[in-house]
Chains A and B, each alone.
Chain A
Amino acid sequence: MNHLDRLEAQGVRILREAYRDFKDLAMLWSIGKDSTVLLWLTRKAFFGHVPFPLVHVDTRFKIPEMIAYRDRLAMEWHVNMIVGQNVEALRDKQTFPDGNLTRIQCCRRLKSEALKHTLSGDWPRLRLDHASGEYVVDSKPEPFTGVIVGVRADEEGSRSKERYFSPRDKDSEWDIGDQPPELWNQFKTDFAPGTHVRIHPLLDWTELNIWEYIERENIPVVSLYFDQGNGTRYRSLGCYPCTKPIDSKARNIAEIIAELRTGKLKNVAERSGRDQDKEDGGGLETLRREGYM
């Protein structure tokens, strides 16, 4: 077994464990490369099927190609697709691009809050109707008690402290100082009423592993990751007002891998194009404690 086989097997094991123990399970799909690998691992784990819903929090500032790609894969792979958003903040223009909030505040409103209320089911959810290909309002949203997320330990400091199965309290908060032990592939699959658990099958993967795996498995990814002809590409996908492309001429997966292994990106942090990380010293950590992914 090579390292990709091992990472894949561990991811599959974790997904099956989650599926066994969490009746109300969902997976977050940001449309980015990591959570798309997670979706692929799900098809691995369940032999081509996706037996739980995928949740996307749409800030309405996502690059349009991402949305088209999401809906195409969801239809093709028979995914039970759920979309949530902060309708109120968008209506009142309480966002950074509208000039009314800082980047961090905007993340909090459009992502953290929207996510929290979409997961708990107290804000309306949209569900993809496979017959028509349209999104319809989900009639009876149930709270999710297990949420699968594609975070990796190498992304930034606070993520390196995560568990594979990481509990969140009633307010979606994360107590970093008092986390459950994990050993011998036994995870925290028991949880008190009102709390939920975040499940992280990709924790041990690096950015390089993700691309190596995408290459090996031939997983479709958004073309925004590749040089579009102007010498820039996206390394990490987010909302367009806060995510900048990087200078790179990598046109395909093999060139991205070469760039990560030996080239100019070897020692540059992946989220260097994400402006919200820089706003205060522990900005992302503060957001993550509050439930940000």
Chain B
Amino acid sequence: MPELLQFLLSGITVGAVYALVALGFTIIYNASDVVNFAQGEFVMLGGMITVFASAAGLPLPLAALIAIIATAAIGVALNKLAIEPARGAPVVSLIIITIGASIFIRGATQLVFDKQIHRFPAFSGDQPILIGGATILPQSLWVIAGALAVFFCLWLFFTRTLIGRAVLATANNRVAAQLVGINTNYVMTLSFAMSAAIGALAGVLVTPITLTSYDVGLALALKGFAAAMLGGMGNPKGALVGGLLLGVLEAMTAGYISSQYKDAAAFVVILAVLFAMPQGLFGRKPTDRV
């Protein structure tokens, strides 16, 4: 039993990171119908910029803030320079553009910073907390709390603010949103900034546990994408649940079946979900446009 609890706790920690990446996917997908494969690079940038800013002598909270703002700026630049000019391009082109962006960001990071593995100290020490025979790192609680806080803020944003509703309206029908006076270009810029900032926050929170280097983004992007698909593309609740579910599933596979195949489990389940219910757990029913 403590074993099960242990796997569950570590699964939820990893799952919270996947959920944050998946939320990033969801925000951009809703605003622009683009699946941004560079989403994982935002997580990497969050971690790496914090590492180098704090190495330059800045206090950790300030370094993390700079990392999040800088990554948000990079997200906006990505939208302005690569996504907006390609508006209306076919899905294959958009996939290649965002994968190209991801490779570009990775290449730039390795030039600007380095190829080493880095970490910075955990926020509240490394003393594990005992829960019913299992242990959890204080930093894991930070990660989980971070994911929940982001989800809650997004919920407030989308349901309680005018601009949040403008984003929802754009997601629902771009042309109709423009007709009622919503600046959809601004909505897209905002979505990329938010999505990048959330990714960077995930990077800041998780780096003390998983460490970071210039090439951690791709794996995170694939897992986050998978989590978003599992929950139903475009649904924030689905992203959260999909992420946590995926994390727990991986931890259980690693614990009870084979640690080598923990990544396989995620993709097997995703294939199964796609075949059985292609819209994911919380997705909308498809409507074919003829």
The answer to whether A and B assemble together is: no
Query: Which B residues are closer than 8 A to A by beta carbons?
Result: none
